[in-house]
Amino acid sequence: MRDRSMKKSTKKSTKKNEERGPQKAAGMPVKFTLFLIPLAAAMCFFGIYRGETAVILSKAITICLECIGLG
Amino acid sequence: MDNISERKKTTRGREGGKIKRTSGGQGLRKIVQAGWAVITNGYMKAFSPDGPMIYQGPLKQVCTPGMNCYSCPGALGSCPIGSMQAVLSGRSRDFPFYVVGYLALIGLFVGRFICGWLCIFGLIQELLYKIPTPKLRVPEGPDRILRYLKYGILLVMVVGLPLLYRNEAGAGEPFFCKYICPVGTLEGGVPLMILNETLRNVIGWLFAWKFLILVICIAASIFIYRPFCKYICPLGAFYGLFQKVSLVRMRHDEGLCVDCGLCAKKCRMDVDPRVSPNSSECIRCRACIKACPMSALSMGIGSSDNVTEAEEGGKVV
């Protein structure tokens, strides 16, 4: 019974989907993401290698007067 | 009945492979949010009268994935937006490779999942929204325009001005932290003022301005769901750029969808998952997945936003 009503609703949904017009098709392929991940990781490691973490640490271990509204 | 429960457990991917659906509802999300807030702000010594004002250890080299002011007495990590501005506003005007790469990595894996699950300010706004009052929905026109504001803030206040402006001494300023960020006021400013008399004595117009922004944010959060995340947060804007390319994605199965609209109704970020399951506004809270009576929505590692029954069988339409 439930199965039949589901088929019915699926038909109905297909019709409604057609009415809604063209849907956004497939998103970006995973391959593209897998290509970007090493790039992002390389950026991250280059920043560490260049000493950016030291800049961040020096800022973060003192009270940031701007952040708290005094500076 | 069995058919439906079977479909609830798994969904087929583009090549016919099964995509595992993660479990957990809004209760679990609240526990994760609260747990993460405690873990990342767990430096209790700073809250004692004889302790240091803030944590000063090496963990602060690491950025937290969500907004978390590094001047919060208990903060163990650094705020990524503050860190980005710290590097950009330095004398050498360096590009913040570490922070941008780190945030891009997170975005590429999970998109705005961080906003929904690991942001302390998001949790605070959600709790404020639970206060039983009439709730407001910003009309569609202004809402659409205001949603772009966070991208403007990211470009101008987080990147542009810290990079370009230099005072007479040659130093730049973290413009977003200084003039806008209510997270810094709430997590850093207010507790430090309470705990330290010297700081209380030097309060000026800037603190008053930032406190006003915080009060507006808090008041707005009672009536509007996550107004800071929707309109202001530059970190949400940054992660939003990766929503459509992230590994973890939302999927909408057109074959199963009966267009009841429950998902769109349930979404408090005002996204219609049927039209745009990976909208840059979605914080991946999974409320729509739980609401869907046909299990037409799922979250997993996949390549397409919308799938049809033919695709499910392994045939790409």
Contacts (Cβ under 8 Å, ≥6 apart) of B28:
none
- CB-based contact A10 B258, cutoff 8 Å: yes
- CB-based contact A64 B69, cutoff 8 Å: yes
pLDDT, one tens digit per residue, over B108-133 is 999 999 999 999 999 999 999 999 99
Name the B residues in 135-174 with CB < 8 Å from any A CB.
173-174
Domain boundaries, chain B: 28-240, 249-299
- A17 neighbourhood in chain B, CB within 8 Å: 254, 257, 259
pLDDT, one tens digit per residue, over B174-213 is 999 999 999 999 999 999 999 888 999 989 999 999 999 9
Q: Is the pLDDT of residue B4 over 90?
A: no
Would you say the C-alpha torsion B299, B304, B310, B313 has a positive or negative sign?
negative
- CB-based contact B82 A46, cutoff 8 Å: no
In CATH, what number does B249-299 get?
3.30.70.20
Smallest Cβ–Cβ distance between A55 and the set B14, B90, B254 belongs to B90
pLDDT, one tens digit per residue, over B215-252 is 999 999 999 999 999 999 999 999 999 999 999 999 99
Task: Say what the ipTM of the complex is.
Answer: 0.82
- CB-based contact B256 A13, cutoff 8 Å: yes
Ramachandran category for residue B193: left, alpha or beta (phi over 0 → left; psi -120 to 50 → alpha): alpha
Buried b / exposed e over B257-267, threshold 16 CB at 10 Å, is bbbbebbbeeb
Buried b / exposed e over A58-68, threshold 16 CB at 10 Å, is ebbbebbbbbb
- CB-based contact A43 B246, cutoff 8 Å: no
CB of B211 less than 8 A from some CB of A: yes
